[in-house]
Amino acid sequence: MGILAKNINQWITQMYKDLVRYADATAGPDISNEVLNSSLEYIIKNKERLDEHIEDKQHFMSYCKLKIKNQLIDYYRKEKNIESIYRENDEGDLEMKEELFYDNTKNSFTSHDNIMDLNKALSKLSSKCRELLLLWGEGYSEKELSSKYGKTASTIGVQTHRCLKKLIPLFKGDELKVN
């Protein structure tokens, strides 16, 4: 545990009033407590990683202010997403917008024929492409795949994109030469 990790709680206690003032000025009094608390929670959870970046108390104060700004941005993004999904009804309660619902049965990809066509198209790809697309389709991130294959995440992203470009014509029924 480095110098910062030992001093972080002490520094936060000393700077707390200044941080509250900064959060009020930046976020406004309604949400400043939420933004400040989430910022401090993040800082405390990740204090071991801060040692290499923070040299002194003033640098730490700047880092705290940056985290408050970032948490405020995250807060507004979350609010914007909630507003885009919900609206107030006549009683003032939130309800989901009806235009966001659609009939899953008409747009379903998982019909038996589609699955068979996809399997047939996948079988025409190289084993490397097939494995990469199957893992990607199961929800593995580029970062997870990069650690599995020992390549950078951007390389995995490019390879996934190329494999998808090969798969799409095969799935649609166009016979193209596939490596």
Residue-by-residue pLDDT tens, the chain, 179 positions: 455 556 777 888 888 898 889 888 888 888 888 888 898 888 888 877 776 667 777 888 888 888 999 998 888 888 766 655 555 555 655 555 554 444 445 545 556 677 788 888 888 999 999 999 988 888 888 888 998 889 999 999 999 999 999 998 888 776 544 44
pTM of the predicted model as reported, rounded to 2 decimal places? 0.45
Q: Could you tell me the residue ranges of all domains in the chain?
A: 3-98, 104-172
What the block records as the tokens of 87 is 């609206």
Long-range pairs, 2-11, Cβ under 8 A, ≥24: 2/48, 2/51, 3/51, 4/47, 4/50, 4/51, 4/54, 4/60, 5/47, 5/48, 5/50, 5/51, 8/43, 8/44, 8/47, 8/50, 8/60, 9/44, 11/57, 11/60
The closest alpha carbon to 109, from 137, 130, 131, belongs to 137
Residue type at position 176: L
Q: Which CATH number, 3.50.50.60, 1.10.3720.10, 3.30.420.40, 1.10.10.10, labels domain 104-172? A: 1.10.10.10
The closest alpha carbon to 23, from 54, 67, 79, belongs to 67
Q: What is the pLDDT of residue 179?
A: 45
- Per DSSP, 86 falls in state E
Q: What is the pLDDT of residue 100?
A: 45
Q: What is the pLDDT of residue 160?
A: 94
